[in-house]
Amino acid sequence: MLNWEGHVDLDLHVTEPGGEEIYYNNKTSATGGTLDIDNKCSNFRYRRPENICWPAPAQGGAPKGRYKVEVVRYEDCASGVGAVPFTVYTWVDYNQLLPDATGTSTGGPDRDKKIWVREFTFP
């Protein structure tokens, strides 16, 4: 789950072990990983998380292997927006929460660049 405060459009990106990337332009992967909502400037809400999740194990579950999590600052929703802190929460196997991963999106020349957040192996 990606959560942030600030009037910007941040986007959650997760790359699966097979290399497919789930994000706003590829909301559902071949393995069933799905981005639930693309929170952008046109539907701005305070503290709006973006989530990417996979089906329950009985329905196939998430593929085993290494995952990469990144965040992109896609758009500023107002002028003069500076640095925006964010937090990514990662649950593995429905019952294991990894330590919070935090970062800051600075915008400006770094807009549209991927910010590495974490990598993890499942299971």
CA 81, CA 86: separation in Å to the nearest integer? 14
Say whether pLDDT at 112 is over 80. Answer: yes
Q: Which residues contact 47 (CB under 8 A, 6 or more apart)?
A: 3, 4, 5
51-83 tens-digit pLDDT:
999 999 889 899 999 999 999 999 998 888 899
Which secondary structure element, helix H or strand E, spans residue 29, and what is its range?
none
Say whether pLDDT at 49 is over 70. Answer: yes
CA 84, CA 121: separation in Å to the nearest integer? 28
pTM: 0.93
14-37 tens-digit pLDDT:
999 999 999 999 999 999 999 999
Beta strands at 96-97 and 91-92: parallel, antiparallel or unpaired: antiparallel
